Chain A
C-alpha cells in the first residue's frame, strides 16, 4: 500500500462483457419478459443438491414453473456471502459428490433440455479464477451452454483479467451492486457488468427474509436510473409481496434463491412445493 491509496474505486480500462453473445442472450430473455408485460424471474438452484440427478429435476421444474433465466450455484466449501440455507445446501451437495465436472455436466444437460433459457452459474472467485486467470473455467462453462457467470466475491476492481477471458469465449460476467455501494460507484459497476446488473437488496448475506428493507424501493430506482442494462434484485427475496414491491420500484428482474431451497424441504426433494413457489412468484412479476 502506498500513500496514494485513495484511488478511484473502479479501475482499469472500460471493457466489461456486455458485448458478448452471452450478454445478448441474457438481454433477449429480459426483453421477452418485458414484452410479455413481466419482470424476469430468475430462480436459483444449487448444482448437485441434494444430489446430481435430483438437482437436474429441480432445475427443469423451476424452469418450467416460470423462469426467464436460471441461476445455477456451484457448491463451494467457504461460501462467505451466503447465509445458513445456502451454506447447508452447498455442504450437502459437496458431501454428495458434487464437483466442478459434474456441475458443468448439469449446466450442459439443462441447456440441452431448455435451449432458450439463459443459464448463469454463480460461484466464488477461487472456483473460477483461483491462482490463474479463469480461462479454463470460462471456456468449459461457455461450452456447456452457460450465457454468463456471477462471481460472488469478484468486483470490477479485480475483474478485468477475467472479463477478458470470459469475453473470448462469449460469456457475460455479471457484477453486483449493494446498498453500501456509493452512488458514483454504482454507475461504474453498471457500466462494466454483462447482460444484467445484480442488485443486492440488503446489507447482509443471502437467505430468505420475512420482509425486505424499506429502502429497497429507492435503491432499485436509483440503480435502475444509472444502469444501461436490466437490473435484477436478489438476496432475501422470498415472497410474492417482495417481488411485487421490487417490480413496482422498476426492477427488470428478481432473483430467488434461499426461499426455493427452503421450499424443497429438509431433504431437498420437495420439487412440487418449490415449483409452486416459483409459480406464485412468477405471478407477481407483472409490470405495473
Chain B
C-alpha cells in the first residue's frame, strides 16, 4: 500500500520531483533544497519587513543583506563538515567556548550595561558559540550511551547545561542563557527523559522560579511585573508591550500597508527593527502577513525534525532535533513576548530582526542540519 502524500509533505520529506542538474549540484554541495528554500523565503520576507522597520534606510538594509549573505556562506561551509568530524571536535568546541565565556566575564567589553563582547581580532559574543556547543556537547555525551539516559547521566548533562548558562546569565544576558538552557534540555527530552521525571522537574520549577527571581536583575524583575499589568506604568516599563499590542492589534486582518504603519513609522514602537520587528509586521501586513511568516517558520522546523528523524546516529539525531526545536523556541519566545504573552526577554525574531551575530549562528546550525542530512549513508534499517 502506498501512502499518498500532500504537496507539503512531499516538500518536507524531499520527495518532490527531481530537480535535475541543479538538484545534483545542490546535493554535491551538501545543501538541502527544501530547508534552503524555507530559509530564503523567511529571509526575503524578513528583508521586506526590515526595510520598513529601519525607516527605509537603504544603508541599514544593505547592511542586513550583507550579513545574510555572510550567514548563508557560513551555512554552506558548515554543511560541508561531516557529522562524525563535528562530533569528534565537540568537546573542544564546548570547553573552548567555556574558556571564552570566562574571559568575557573577566575582560569583556561592556555594551548597554552588560558584558557580552570579546575582542580577539574580531568582536564577537562567545555566547553565540555556546548556542551550538551546548546541544552538541549534550548529544556527544549521550551518543555512546544507552538511551533513555539514566538519572546520574542526566545529572552530568545538567552540569553541561548549567555551567555555561550561569556564566551567560551573569553577563547578564538572561534571554540567551534561557535559550541555551532550552537547547540542552531539549536534547535530554528527545533522548527520552522519563515523563514522570519531567513532571517532577516541572513541580520543582516553582521553587526554581523563586530562585531565578532572586537571581534576576531589577530590570528583569520589572519586565515580569510589567507583563502582569502593563498599564500600571504606561510610560515606563509597560510602554513597550502596550505600544507593541497597539501596533499588532491596529494592523487587523490585512494590515495598514507596507511602510504605512503609524506605530512603527512614527516611532511609537520601541526597538522596531530588532526585538519588536514582529509587531511592525503585524501592523503593516496584518494577521495574514504574520500567519504566512509563522507557516514558513513551521515549515523550516518541520523539515529540521524530519532530518532529525532520518539521521543515522544518536549524536546527529539529538543535535538535529535540538537545533530545530531551539529554532522554534526562538520564534515562540519572540512572538509570545511581542504579543504580550510572556515577559519581555531580549530575543530577536530569527532571520528577520536586524543584527548579525545571531543570524550567523542560526545559519551555521542549519548548516549542521544540512550536513547531517546530506552525509547520511542510506542504510536499510
A binds B: no
